Chains A and B, each alone.
Chain A
Amino acid sequence: MFDLKLHYGNSYLENSMFFCIFINNEWHTSIKGKKFPTINPATGVKICDVEEADKADVDEAVRAARAAGQRGSEWRQMDASSRGRLLHRLADLLERERAVLATLESMDTGKPFLHAFFVDLDGSIKTLRYYAGWTDKIHGKTMPVDENFVCFTKHEPVGVCGAIIPWNFPLLMFMWKIAPALACGNTVVIKPAEQTPLTALHTGALIKEAGFPPGVVNIVPGFGPTAGAAIGSHMNIDKVAFTGSTEVGQLIKAAAAKSNLKRVTLELGGKNPCIVFADSDLQSAVEETQKGAFFNQGQACTAASRVYVEEAVYDEFLRLSVERAKNIAIGDPLEPRTSHGPQINQHQFDKILELVASGKKEGATLECGGCAVEDRGLFIHPTIFSDVKDHMRIAKEEIFGPVQCIMKFKTQEEVIDRANGTQYGLTAAVFTRDIHRAMSVSAALEAGTVWVNCYNALHAQAPFGGYKMSGNGRELGEYALAEYTEVKAITLKLSERLTL
């Protein structure tokens, strides 16, 4: 556990520097004078107040980002390889501040400290280093066109990129957005979620320390309907990247169209199916699917909330899953033995329990959990339902809580249809030892990521994103670069044709 007071002295929490709006490498108070509190969901206690950005602050940030990205600006004149050096430096600074950031993240989100330290911080640092390596490798092409022309493309930055990120992996999502954006030479206006602004703001200080020119990254903490909407419909933002619910994703896309046709990428919800065949390593399948369902208290777009188990192994799978779920260590997120913390806030807490109630009402069998932890605020017991039918709300709606639905299936064709029977399509998993089955089922599933004999295996090098209403576009890997560049084709006319 990391004691902020010991590290920074008593002044840390009183020092308002990292609780302000970050524009042009400076800390600003909100133009309207508004603040909002951020709460520790494990205790219900306010951590601090944060300056609240609204439309006027977003306008300031966009002005700064636009100026920082102008032709002739320091950022635009910089060698591509130098952009990479800055991203590396930022990764080094994250490493230096790893314990502080993990503590802040744990306090702000309720996720266990060890998860924040080993998963969120690890992913954040690796994502930065991965994209640092791309900056001077963003290639256009030359192409053999007809007649006497020379034609080549340049992959230019899109411009000012708005980013709106969620509260479930605040720092990691921050890096998933800024790393490719900056690698491609864009400037950024990023709004962290109102529930979890702290690690984003701390990173602002590191961005300045790393040496990014002023205005390249601007951070505007605030609420969706105000600051978020201002970004979505801004006439001077060239692209918006949003991670959050499908419902809000649709609003953003519509706002983008209505305003200036800004480019849109969306990472939205999921109702991700796992398919466990009788020939799988059952113990491993139980572990992986459960990690998939309960990791981060079920608050993951990749949450494995539907598990289809082949009839022959259904009972055993259920038994092993329930046994395992009962042994999950619930406790204080800052405690090293804890692997299950609270839900993020009352709203989410209520929504989850409402869906649990619907499960009971609609006739699913509650195997374990299904209720709040006594005397413990926003904590909910890991919950397993069996005998779930595809029409039930718990089988169709994204729960975003620690609830796993286990269903039975007979044949491969049937389960593929049932797995695909959703408007979502973010991730899926197949558990089998048979090579043919692994290949054919993964080919058939309508999901942006299909895991075979694993779950939540995410890597900065591999693309991630949704089919259907789970999103538009891809993040990570080389693929993200396409979302953050604008292709310009330059065609020169010559007096004669060139020999090819």
Chain B
Amino acid sequence: NIFINNEWHDSVSGKVFSTYNPATGEKICDVQEADKADVDKAVQAARSAFSLDSVWRKMDASERGKLLFKLADLVERDRAYLATLESLDTGKPFLSSFFVDLQGTIKTFRYFAGWADKIHGSTIPTDGEYFTLTRHEPIGVCGQIVPWNFPLVMTAWKLGPALSCGNTVVLKPAEQTPLTCLYIGALIREAGFPPGVVNILPGYGPTAGAAIASHMGIDKVAFTGSTEVGKLIQEAAGKSNLKRVTLELGGKSPNIIFADADFELAVEQAHQGVFFNNGQCCTAGSRIFVEEPIYDEFVRRSVERARRRTVGNPFDPTAEQGPQVSVEQQRRVLELIQSGITEGAKLECGGKAPLSKGFFVEPTVFSDVQDHMRIAKEEIFGPVQQIMKFKTIEEVIERANNTEYGLAAAVFTTDLNKAMTVSAALQAGTVWINCYNALSCQCPFGGFKMSGNGRELGEIGLKEYTEVKTITMKMSGKKS
């Protein structure tokens, strides 16, 4: 159901939609479908929960922190159940859900719980007979739209800072994966958050999502998803009420492997960097630039590794890879693979849908990829690895930066100088050195260029969820 004011509601229109298990193609259940009218109800509830004399606004900051800690404890309590639900709904291997997604979720809630009573303003020595201080106030009602690739983690990344800073929320999970997010609704209520502080509206982008982006009663929208839709959101925000916007969008992240890198490490990290989560990561290291001297061996070893990657039922503990999230995504990935073949890249392994049931795609490796090819330019969001050759540092930096994206990047080298200079030169919000996908809630994450606006996580993530008020008092007489 739709979660508003700590209660479960049917959709105003009476519509429902289905959610499927991508490993089998079977329906899991029907879910109430939120549309504009439901968004209106949710915004009203969130607005009311945000009023100056509300329980939420009057609560000690440290109490907000306690509620977030309680929520983390409840997620931990129900960890196995949530991991199962997440795997059923997304197709990601259960062990991944349990050890990566659930861990990230719990840690993110705990991290932001700790910030709640440490959101500092300043006192400032202004000129003249004045005393100035700033308050970092909550923005208000925050609309949040989260994707289907890490439903629970993305929910934590959104709710954590928003609630820590004292906002109220209207959150729309992806239509492909509403289940774990809705379960969090129950835990939010159990933890003791006042009604209306968090409202969860499962539904579709063009209806519920658009309603959020253009709502006159929402003060800020945070979106994680494709660059294409991110642009629509920002446009709608501008056209409606200039709501504040943060965006976490796509990527075509370069992974640069120098000849002096730890070879084994680089092969494995490059492999995981692109294949993790069935390739469905905004950070996927989908352009691997390998220095000429080690190129052939690197391709050979990468192919060998890809062939060993086990694909199967997400609940099989030996399966490293599950299905893509939907038939649409599967088709899109296969279409891009076909373009790679057509445009002349060398298909080293994989390339097909291995099973008749479910939305699986084989781990696929292309070598001899040229920068102009679609597979080198477009975000694939599937288990497809592109390996390119480079000669010099200057060349590879330029090629790596030659994209409208700028989310993440990586450098593999044992040379200190190379590591520092290349990481400084790359136009990416996160640069990994001798690792990949090393994400931590303490560190800011976000995109350069068209990979996004603003940062999530870390202390800097708080900035996006506060509105700064400057208070200046006239002092009578010269102040000391």
Contact = CB atoms under 8 A, between A and B. Distances in A.
Interface of A: 80-81, 84-85, 88, 126, 129-130, 132-137, 139, 150, 435-436, 439-440, 443-444, 460-461, 478, 492, 494-496, 498-499
A137 B62 contact: no
28 contacts: A80-B442, A81-B107, A84-B114, A85-B110, A88-B69, A130-B62, A132-B114, A133-B65, A133-B116, A133-B118, A134-B114, A134-B118, A135-B114, A136-B114, A136-B442, A137-B118, A150-B424, A435-B473, A443-B475, A443-B480, A444-B480, A460-B62, A460-B117, A492-B416, A494-B417, A496-B421, A498-B421, A499-B424
Contacts of B480: 440, 443-444
B425 interface: yes
Given A133-B115, A494-B417, A494-B421, A81 B62 contact: no
Given A132-B114, A440-B479, A443-B479, 14 more contacts: A81-B107, A84-B110, A85-B110, A129-B62, A133-B115, A133-B118, A135-B114, A137-B118, A150-B424, A440-B480, A443-B131, A443-B480, A460-B117, A499-B425
A80 B416 CA distance: 26
B71 to A, nearest CB: 14
Interface of B: 61-62, 65-66, 69, 107, 110-111, 113-118, 120, 131, 416-417, 420-421, 424-425, 442, 459, 473, 475-477, 479-480
Contacts of B131: 439, 443
Secondary structure call for the A interface: helix
Contacts of B477: 440
Contacts of B66: 129
Given A440-B476, A443-B480, A498-B420, A139 B114 contact: no
Contact of A436 (B107, B117, B476): B476
B420 A492 contact: yes
Contact of B114 (A137, A495, A496): A137
Contacts of A499: 424-425
Given A436-B475, A498-B421, A498-B424, A461 B118 contact: yes
A184 to B, nearest CB: 14
The 5 closest A-B CB pairs, nearest first, are: A133-B114, A436-B476, A498-B424, A443-B480, A136-B442
Contacts of A135: 114
Given A81-B107, A88-B69, A133-B113, A139 B459 contact: yes
B62 A126 contact: yes
A481 to B, nearest CB: 10
A342 to B, nearest CB: 33
Contacts of B420: 150, 492, 494, 498
A461 B421 contact: no
A478 B421 contact: no
A136 B111 contact: yes
A88 B110 CA distance: 11
Nearest to B478: A440
Given A81-B111, A444-B480, A492-B420, A478 B442 contact: no
Contacts of B118: 133-134, 137, 461, 478
Contacts of A133: 65, 113-118
A448 to B, nearest CB: 15
A440 B475 CA distance: 7
Contacts of A139: 459
A402 B459 CA distance: 45
Contacts of B110: 81, 84-85
A173 B187 CA distance: 36
Contact of A461 (B107, B117, B476): B117
B62 A461 contact: yes
Given A88-B69, A436-B476, A137 B113 contact: no
A384 B61 CA distance: 38
A494 B416 CA distance: 8
Nearest to A436: B476
A189 B66 CA distance: 30
Contacts of A494: 417, 420-421
